[in-house]
């Protein structure tokens, strides 16, 4: 069986069921497991492609009624029909006697065993309901806009204006954006408080103490524990927060300010300063075509094979511009039948957009490399902690080619500014990551069943003060405490955030290696990507030339590296 030849209407269960019936009816033994797995993988590829296409459609246009109908059909009919069958297929596989896992299948079987262990029929409708509620968050936030000087600006377009050197205008734009979010405060509170007990019920149905334990198993977190996360939080508090606070004060001084107020920062990225101390803000590109062309030239120089992957994506696999009713944020999706990755983002002319495309390009290359080396669909996607190493490393590995002389976006002087901004961003992000991860540990493993939105607001504010003391939110308590409303991960992908922090440590180690030998670092990077999910998290880090460590020693060492590189750039 081959996914190209499966005759399936993915929105019609009656066309899918014959294929699942065939798999369930086959006699399975140690001798034919691999062949059977490939047949199942082919079916999974078709379904994964269909789900990716539906998600692409609803994010490209959040008011597309036909796409909305397909999405609802997918999550209320197809997924609930397939989920118990998928569980039966997992159990059939796991019951085979005498099968010795190979490097190709060992990690996959470990994941399938964990997933099968928590599956409950009662959770299928709850998961569908949560997916619909997550889409509602995108609809609410994707439709937000402000009126500015006679034009309607999307939120990503408004964020670009937060780089304006006129502080009064920045504040005005920021307040207009925040007013848009605050107008939705009650609805966003109600939405999350509707989701919270559903998530807790998932865990209860699976016989687990809390939703954190459920997600740990669902997400295949085999190589670290919740207690390890607290070790990481501690390392950030002691090794990163002092440097971040120092750098925030440096930027404030360069701007002639005593402190940084939130209108000197992003809305989607509230840890990241948006104002360049230089009177001429960086404007790396004016059009989407310029962004794509520059990125293609950069990727070609990092590695010609990677550049070839991106060139192919320019033929219908990129949606980079910002427009009304487009979902916020950015992501990379993969299509295992087409064999193509796809990048979605909201570009509006800023240096952050360049970094985002480098980041999502890393995800795209990860799929492209694994797709060519791994024939089973489950091995196309590595653990998320390493998937983010792929993306964050590409941000750093691409830096030598950001100059116009190398086909990129910046003159030599502007490159120094862009590199400084990149390194600042790493330092500033880690404390925010700690806020995001900490609040979810609290929400799902510590807080009582009777918490309300005010309790969440209070906890967010408390964590903000712990990890981001260098930012001045005085007289803006409501705006500060509702910051959790402006991070879609909390609504749509709970507990998915620590990955960014762990991966950033891996990416910094890859970059440290590249500073010594760029060619070898890129080769090791590609080798690790090609493994997909056939190795454990520590093994993937090791193949990429990094250690899977996140204590004060490792974090302090990497912050020293960043500090040293900042001194070199400033010299």
Average pLDDT over residues 332-342: 97
For residue 25, the SS3 value is helix
How many angstroms separate the CA atoms of 555 and 505, rounded? 7
pLDDT reading at 10 higher than 70: yes
pLDDT reading at 447 higher than 50: yes
pLDDT tier at 160, thresholds 50, 70, 90? confident
Average pLDDT over residues 218-226: 95
pLDDT reading at 505 higher than 70: yes
Q: How many CB atoms lie within 10 A of CB 553?
A: 11
Average pLDDT over residues 136-156: 90
What pLDDT sits at residue 280?
80
The residue extents of the domains of the chain are 3-100, 149-281+424-492, 288-418+498-535
Q: What is the pTM of this model?
A: 0.90
288-418+498-535 fold: 1.10.1370
**Are 155 and 180 contacting, i.e. CB atoms less than 8 angstroms apart?**
yes
**Are 312 and 342 contacting, i.e. CB atoms less than 8 angstroms apart?**
no
Q: Locate tokens 């960014």: which residue?
A: 500
What pLDDT sits at residue 185?
97
What pLDDT sits at residue 164?
86
How many angstroms separate the CA atoms of 120 and 93, rounded? 18
Contacts of 235 (CB under 8 A, 6+ apart): 550, 551, 552, 554, 555, 556
CA 432 distance to own-chain centroid = 14
């Amino acid at each position: 069986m081959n996914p190209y030849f499966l005759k399936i209407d993915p929105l019609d269960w009656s066309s899918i069921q014959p294929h699942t019936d065939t798999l369930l009816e086959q006699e399975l033994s140690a001798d034919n497991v691999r062949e059977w797995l490939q047949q199942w993988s082919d079916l999974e590829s078709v379904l994964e492609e269909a789900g990716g296409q539906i998600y692409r459609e609803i994010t490209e246009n959040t008011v597309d009624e036909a796409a909305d109908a397909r999405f609802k059909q997918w999550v209320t009919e197809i997924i609930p029909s397939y989920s118990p069958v998928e569980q039966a297929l997992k159990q059939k596989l796991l019951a085979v006697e005498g099968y010795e896992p190979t490097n190709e299948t060992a990690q996959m079987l470990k994941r399938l065993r964990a997933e099968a262990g928590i599956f409950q029929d009662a959770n299928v409708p709850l998961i569908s309901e949560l997916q619909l509620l997550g889409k509602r968050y995108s609809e609410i936030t994707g439709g937000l806009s402000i009126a500015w000087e006679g034009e309607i600006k999307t939120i990503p377009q408004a964020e670009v204006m937060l780089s304006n050197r006129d502080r009064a205008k920045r504040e005005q734009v920021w307040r207009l954006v925040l007013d848009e979010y605050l107008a939705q405060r009650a609805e966003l509170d109600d939405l999350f408080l509707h989701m919270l007990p559903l998530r807790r019920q998932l865990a209860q149905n699976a016989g687990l103490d809390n939703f954190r334990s459920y997600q740990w198993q669902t997400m295949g977190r085999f190589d670290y524990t919740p207690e390890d996360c607290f070790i990481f939080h501690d390392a950030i508090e002691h090794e990163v927060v002092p440097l971040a606070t120092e750098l925030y004060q440096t930027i404030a001084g360069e701007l002639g300010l005593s402190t940084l107020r939130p209108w000197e920062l992003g809305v989607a990225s509230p840890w990241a300063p948006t104002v360049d101390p230089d009177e001429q803000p960086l404007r790396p590109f004016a059009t989407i075509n310029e962004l794509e062309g520059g990125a293609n030239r950069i990727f070609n120089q990092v590695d010609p094979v990677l550049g070839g992957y991106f060139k192919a994506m320019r033929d219908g696999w990129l949606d980079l511009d910002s427009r009304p009713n487009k979902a916020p944020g950015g992501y990379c999706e993969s299509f295992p039948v087409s064999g193509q990755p796809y990048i979605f983002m909201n570009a509006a002319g800023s240096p952050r957009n360049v970094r985002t495309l480098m980041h999502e390009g890393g995800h795209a290359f990860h799929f492209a490399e694994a797709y060519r080396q791994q024939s089973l669909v489950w091995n196309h996607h590595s653990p998320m902690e390493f998937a983010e190493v792929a993306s964050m490393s590409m941000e750093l590995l691409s830096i030598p080619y950001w100059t116009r002389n190398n086909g990129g976006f910046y003159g030599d002087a502007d490159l120094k500014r862009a590199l400084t901004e990149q390194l600042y961003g790493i330092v500033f992000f880690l404390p925010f990551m700690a806020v995001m991860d900490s609040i979810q540990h609290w929400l799902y493993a510590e807080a009582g069943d009777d918490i309300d939105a005010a309790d969440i607001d209070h906890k967010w504010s408390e964590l903000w003060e712990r990890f981001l003391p260098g930012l001045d939110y005085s007289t803006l308590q409501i705006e500060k405490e509702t910051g959790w409303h402006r991070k879609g991960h909390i609504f749509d992908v709970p507990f998915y955030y620590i990955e960014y922090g762990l991966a950033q440590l891996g990416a910094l180690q890859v970059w440290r290696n590249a500073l010594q030998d760029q060619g070898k670092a890129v080769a090791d990077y590609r080798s690790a990507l090609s493994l997909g999910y056939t190795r454990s998290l520590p093994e993937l880090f090791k193949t990429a030339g990094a250690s899977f460590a996140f204590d004060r020693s490792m974090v302090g060492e990497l912050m020293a590296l960043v500090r040293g590189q900042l001194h070199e750039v400033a010299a």
